[in-house]
C-alpha cells in the first residue's frame, strides 16, 4: 500500500487502482503525464501513448509508453489491440491530448444531442 501525507495529521491510502489497467492517450506531458504518475502511485498498470516521447524517463515495470498519433485510427487501434493482447481488459481510458495544428479558430466538435436553440 502506498501512502501520501495530505497534511501533518492525515494520510491518504493510495490503493484504489491496484491492478486496474489504465490507458492514457496524451500521457507524455502536462496533465496526461501527471495522470500517469497518479495512476502508477495508486497501483494501476498504465499504458500511455502520445505523439511524442514522455517528457521524463519513467522506469516503472507497469508503465509502457508508445508513440501513437491519436488522429490516426489505425495507430490507435493497433495500440489498443496490443494492450488487450497483454491484459485481460481495460478498466479506465483517459484522453489528455490536444490538437497541435496551431489553428486556434477551429471550433470544438459539436455534440449531436444538443439542441440548436
Q: Flag whether 59 is in a domain.
A: yes
Q: Flag whether 60 is in a domain.
A: yes
Q: Flag whether 105 is in a domain.
A: no
pTM for this model (two decimals): 0.72
Q: Flag whether 85 is in a domain.
A: yes
Q: Flag whether 115 is in a domain.
A: no
When divided into structural domains, the chain yields a total of 1
In tens digits, the chain (117 residues) has pLDDT values of 444 555 555 556 667 889 999 999 999 999 999 999 999 999 999 999 999 999 999 999 999 999 999 999 999 999 999 999 999 999 999 998 765 555 444 444 444 443 344
Q: Flag whether 109 is in a domain.
A: no
Q: Flag whether 24 is in a domain.
A: yes
Q: What is the pLDDT of residue 8?
A: 54
DSSP string, 36-95: HHHHHHTT-EEEEEESS--SS----TT--EEE--TT-HHHHHHHHHHHHHHSS--SEEEE
Tell me, what CATH number does 91's domain have? 3.40.50.720
Q: What is the span of the domain harbouring residue 38?
A: 2-95
Amino acid at each position: 500500500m502506498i501512502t501520501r501525507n495530505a497534511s501533518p495529521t492525515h494520510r491518504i491510502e493510495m490503493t484504489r487502482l491496484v491492478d486496474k489497467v489504465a490507458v492514457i492517450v496524451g500521457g507524455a506531458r502536462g496533465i496526461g503525464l501527471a495522470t500517469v504518475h497518479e495512476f502508477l502511485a495508486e497501483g494501476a498498470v498504465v499504458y500511455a501513448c502520445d505523439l511524442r516521447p514522455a517528457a521524463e524517463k519513467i522506469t516503472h515495470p507497469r508503465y509502457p509508453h508508445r508513440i501513437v498519433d491519436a488522429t490516426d485510427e489505425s495507430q490507435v487501434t493497433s495500440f489498443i489491440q496490443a494492450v488487450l493482447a497483454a491484459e485481460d481488459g481495460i478498466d479506465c481510458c483517459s484522453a489528455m491530448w490536444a490538437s497541435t495544428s496551431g489553428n486556434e479558430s477551429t471550433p470544438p466538435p459539436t455534440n449531436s444531442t444538443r439542441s440548436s436553440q
